[in-house]
Structures are given as C-alpha cells and as structure tokens.
Structure 1
Amino acid sequence: MSTQSDRRGRYRDSLQAWSTIVVLVIIILSSGLAQARQTTDYCRAGLCPRGTHHIACNGNNKFGKDCSSRPMLIKMTPKYVNLILNYHNSKRNRLACGSMRRFASATSMQKLRWNDELAHLAEYNAKSCNFAHDECHNTDRFPFTGQSIGMKWFHGMNLTATQVVRDLIRKWYLEHKLTKQRDLDHFEANDHSFVIGHFTQMIHADTTEIGCALVRFFKHNNNLQFLHYYLVCNYSEGNIQERPVYRKGKRCSKCKNGCTRGKYRCLCRDWNNL
C-alpha cells in the first residue's frame, strides 16, 4: 500500500526526470543552432576567383559612406521571403511549362528555397548603399554564386517596401522582352547579357537557393529629400559563360524526383517534398 509520502516522492522523481529531458533537448537544440550559425571562412584561398575579394572577408557589415541619412536594414520577415520566393518560382514555373510564347519548356527547372547565408552576404552589399555588384559572394556550398541588384528612389510618393521589392523584381523579369531563345541556349557574357542578366539569373535552371537583403536610406538633391531602397539578391548558382541557362525539352523529364505537386507543377520536386 503506497502512502501519500511515497506518491509525492515518485512525483518529485518524475519531475526531475522530465527536467533532465528538457535540459537535454535544450542542449541538443542549442548545439544545432550553433552549428547552423557556423559559416564559411570567407578569407579562404580559392573561395573566390583569382584577383577578386570576398565581400565578407574582414568586412565589418556596417553602413557605408554612401548611405547618407538614416539608413535602415529592412528585416527579411516571412512576408518578404515569401514574396521573393513566390515571384521567382511563379516565373520559373511559367517558363518551364512552356507558357512563355518565345521560349521552350524546361526539362529540369529547380524550385527555389531561401538561404540565410546568401541573405547575410547580401547585407554586406546592400549596406554599402552603392549600386554595384560585389566581386565575390561565394560560400563553401556554393562556389559559383550569382547576384542581382536593384535600386529605386523617389520623392513625394508613398510606396511601401513591399511595393518596391515587387517592382524591382518585376523589372528584372521584364528583361525577357529583350531575350531570345538563343541567349538561353548558350549564355554569353557580353554587352547584351548585361541588359538581360537579371532575367537569365531569375530563370537559371540549376539555381536552387536565394537570399536577399534590402536597405532604406535618404539622400538630398537640389534641396529635395529622396527615399532610396536598395535590393540585393544572391543566388546559389550564377550565369555561366558558354553554358545553357536551362535545358530545353519536356517539363520535368530530367528531374530526379519528378514534378512538384500543386501550383508549381513544372518545377522539379526536391527531396524535402517527396
């Protein structure tokens, strides 16, 4: 026959056991987070093409001198992440399906996912407030990264950051009007690729991950104050000289796991979505 004292003792033992389990779970989770935060050695020899400098090698990730007045890094909340991913994937899906009249369908167009490390590296460029590509933003996982940049400024208009991001990405996409199928069959780094490179990057079939950063700042010109937004997006793979941007053929015919289910039915199904 158990007494009230025995039951209290077992209850205390049970609480202690659960406390131990909770502590172990916290330790395991903390360890996983610490590993996730480990990043590439950005100063490592061979990470970047010879003669170029990695933007995060000895970088301080502070706002640059061109940021003028009241610079602010816009946090990439799920709202912005989903906007960027959905816009990219919808256009990639449209091309892969063969729904863009002048372009053939794609055999293995990947579905884009968000990458925090690529987004972190994009912050370095965005916080410079200088509209220019950086020389290198490669990582250990992605040694041939690509990049798209866009800047918008205005005075006397009431545009939200969401509207600006959507407009800038839309302008990248509209470069398709200047693009021909031969540009996608065999990419050439020349003057023409300079004006279509954002579009070719957006629909690059082997790109699997993207990370972006957005900075807002003010500048004065002729006694007028202009609000500037600067968007930088890094991609896991960039445009590669003399390589196809994507491979023509029946949709998903070269995808390892077939097509994605749902609205992106012409994009490859990744291993997370089997």
Structure 2
Amino acid sequence: MGVLTRILLLVLSLVIGSGLADKKDGNETCQDERYAKYPNHVMCLKPRSCPGKDLKVVKYKSYDMLAVLHALNTFRSVIASGGTAVYRPATNMRQLTWDEELATLAQRLAEHCDREAKLNLTVDRFAVGHIIMTSKQLRISWGHLQPPHFMWLIKSLFVQAFDYSYLLKDIPRWVPTPNGDYLSQLIWAESHLVGCGYSLFMEGKTGVRMLVCLFGPKGNVVNSRVYEEGEPNCAVPSSYYEGLCTDQAANRAFQPIPCDNSSFATKYRVLCAPKDNYLRWISTGLPYLRTPCDESFWRKMFYATVAAVLITLLALVLGAFLIYYVKKNVFIV
C-alpha cells in the first residue's frame, strides 16, 4: 500500500471518527431509550442550552406551578359548565392532573429559549401538545429574577387564545387555523395531563419570560372533536371543578391550592378569592362571560311590573268613571 493511500485512509478514519464523536456528544443526554429513539427530541438537548441568549437562573416553588394548574382547570371549568354565552357546555371535558414527565420536558424546552424550535416532544404514552407564552420587557432588574408571579402570564395566555377565538362550528370537527390553536388545546376534552416549565432570558437588552405547558394526550387532532357538546355528563365528576370529569384516584390525590399559606395567598390573591373574583379578573379574555341570573331579583321585578300595570289600569278606570260622574251631574244641574 502506497504512502499516499495510507495518508488518505488515515484522514478518512479521522473524519469518520470525529463525526461519530460529534454524534455521541449530541446524544449524551439521550442515554434513556425513551427519548433516544425519537429524532430531534427535546430531551436530547443539553440542559440549559440557550444558544445566542443569556439564560437567567430563576427558581420557583412547587406551589407556583400548582397555581398554574388551578388556573388552567378553572378556565376549562368555565367553558365546560357553560360559563360563556358563546361556547356550549361540554359533556366530557376532563380535569387536568399534573404530570412530572411533561413538566421535565417543558422545563427543558423553556430553557432552550426558542419559541419557534421544531423539536420532538413525544413520550411513550402519547403524542404531546404544547402551548408557549412569552412576554418581553426592557431593562430586566434583579427584582425580576425573584420567584415569578405566573398569573399575568396566564391571563395573557387566555386573552391571546380568545383574540383568535376558535370557531364554534369547528368544535365537532377540529381543523387548524392560521392564527394559532391555543384555545382548542386549552379546552381539548381528552387532554387530562399537563406539565409546565418557565425561563427568563436576555435577547440583547430585552428580557423574555417564557411559560411552556405540555398537554397529554395531544389535542388539535384533525377531524376529531374538541369536546362533546351538551350538559356535563361525567361517570366521575370532579369534586373541585364544576363541569369537569375525572376518576376516583385523581379526586383522592387532588392537592388544593395552599391559600392558608400567607406567601401564596398574597402572591396569588385572585386564586384564593371567591370564584366570581377570578371570573371578573379573566373576563377580558372570555367572550361574553355569562352572568349568573338572580331568579329572586327577576321574580320581584316581574311582580312589581304586573302590579304597576294593574294599578295604572285601575287608575284609568277610576279616572274615566269620575269624569263620567262629574259630567253627568253637571248636565243634570
């Protein structure tokens, strides 16, 4: 074998070896076969990979995500129970339960700092749907790095979802829309697991907050129902959210929001207030919020109106009689 041939073989072996090493490095976080078998999976990204941006360390408490879960379920409850004058109630909308695997994926996606990234989010159990909410702000200060308050992000999500309201006619058969499909995923009846993640990063001088929520099983399936229209009809109704369906295990394992915790109650005051306060708080994001009808008030109004009409008629009859009587007496005189 000539010297030139040996040199070419050596160079070729180095190139191939380098390619394999690069491939191994790119998959080093994918040792778990649950994700390694899926191409371009989000869990194959290196942790806290935020290319071209400055990712900040923001720690939040477990009750912060519990607040997000409660807000999402309350939103679904409003729709399922017929709380708006636009969307009909749902017979089969399920209560969302927190899922740690989805939360792990959501956090990894949030720390990638790219809303437009086309990454695989599949898990073995089902395909995964996603909602990503971002908000930009100039001049992020140290105070913004403190544990985040998620409610304004959640409200922005609800408002944005209804800015491009999903057409009522497409509830029985889902079709994609050009303006995004957040609302249909938020109220997709068969999605019953959710996990969320959060990040704060800098794009130049602009601070960006990102909230990622992953849903399973995935919603927004072409030609499938968003939900079954009709009055709620659950085999096991949720013990905590009107109109939502669940199972006995989820009811037993349900963890209420800790409003007895002063820090939580201060931070998430709107969640700890009566439900009507929450509905008023998100009313800008709900189309034509249905106002509860006070039957006793309207019954009193009806009786008062009938009484007023009868009194008016009686007064007219008496007036006519008096006029007739006076004219008759004057004529006799």
Do the aligned partners of 2:60 and 2:148 also contact (CA within 8 Å) in 1?
no
Tell me which of 56, 65, 87 is aligned to 2:51.
Answer: 65
Q: What is the SS of the residue equivalent to 2:36?
A: coil
Q: Residues 84-121 of structure 1: CA distance to partner in whole angstroms, max 9, x if unpaired?
A: 11110001001010111100100011111111110111
In the TM superposition, what are the counterparts of 1:1-274 in structure 2 within 5 Å? 41-44=34-37, 53-56=40-43, 58-68=44-54, 70-72=55-57, 74-141=58-125, 143-156=126-139, 162-163=148-149, 165-174=150-159, 175-177=161-163, 178-192=165-179, 194=180, 197-220=181-204, 225-238=205-218, 239-251=220-232, 253=233, 255-257=234-236, 259-262=237-240, 264-272=241-249, 273=251
Structure 1 unmatched runs, 5+ = 1-37
Q: What is the SS of the residue equivalent to 1:187?
A: coil
Scaled by the length of structure 2, the TM-score of the pair is: 0.59
- Quote the RMSD (CA, aligned, Å): 2.4
Residues 59 and 231 (structure 1), Cα distance of their counterparts in 2 relative to 1, 3 Å cut: same
Residues 75 and 116 (structure 1), Cα distance of their counterparts in 2 relative to 1, 3 Å cut: farther
Cα distance in 2 between the residues matched to 1:156 and 1:133: 25
Cα distance in 2 between the residues matched to 1:89 and 1:39: 32
Q: What is the SS of the residue equivalent to 1:207?
A: coil
The structural deviation recorded for 1:139 is 1.0
The structural deviation recorded for 1:67 is 2.4
Cα distance in 2 between the residues matched to 1:151 and 1:215: 10
The structural deviation recorded for 1:133 is 4.7
Residues 133 and 87 (structure 1), Cα distance of their counterparts in 2 relative to 1, 3 Å cut: farther
Structure 2 unmatched runs, 5+ = 1-30, 253-333
The structural deviation recorded for 1:39 is 6.7
Do the aligned partners of 1:76 and 1:213 also contact (CA within 8 Å) in 2?
no
Q: What is the SS of the residue equivalent to 2:201?
A: strand
Cα distance in 2 between the residues matched to 1:204 and 1:190: 15
Do the aligned partners of 1:133 and 1:149 also contact (CA within 8 Å) in 2?
no
Given residue 171 of structure 1, which amino acid in structure 2 is its aligned partner?
S
Q: What is the SS of the residue equivalent to 1:216?
A: strand
By relative contact order (CA 8 Å, sep 6+), the higher-ranking structure is: 1
Given residue 189 of structure 1, which amino acid in structure 2 is its aligned partner?
P
Residues 261 and 188 (structure 1), Cα distance of their counterparts in 2 relative to 1, 3 Å cut: same
Do the aligned partners of 2:199 and 2:209 also contact (CA within 8 Å) in 1?
yes
Indicate the structure (1 or 2) with the bigger Cα radius of gyration.
2
Residues 270 and 66 (structure 1), Cα distance of their counterparts in 2 relative to 1, 3 Å cut: farther
Do the aligned partners of 1:66 and 1:130 also contact (CA within 8 Å) in 2?
no
Q: Residues 40-98 of structure 1: CA distance to partner in whole angstroms, max 9, x if unpaired?
A: 61122xx6xxxx63222x33223221322x522x4452222111111100010010101
Cα distance in 1 between the residues matched to 2:59 and 2:118: 21
Do the aligned partners of 1:67 and 1:128 also contact (CA within 8 Å) in 2?
no
Higher strand share: 1
Cα distance in 1 between the residues matched to 2:117 and 2:183: 16
Cα distance in 1 between the residues matched to 2:224 and 2:188: 11
Given residue 136 of structure 2, which amino acid in structure 1 is its aligned partner?
W
Scaled by the length of structure 1, the TM-score of the pair is: 0.71
Query: Aligned pairs, how many?
Result: 215
Given residue 93 of structure 1, which amino acid in structure 2 is its aligned partner?
S
Cα distance in 2 between the residues matched to 1:202 and 1:100: 15
Do the aligned partners of 1:121 and 1:137 also contact (CA within 8 Å) in 2?
yes
* Identity percentage of aligned residues: 22
Do the aligned partners of 1:102 and 1:180 also contact (CA within 8 Å) in 2?
no
Residues 98 and 115 (structure 1), Cα distance of their counterparts in 2 relative to 1, 3 Å cut: same
Higher helix share: 2
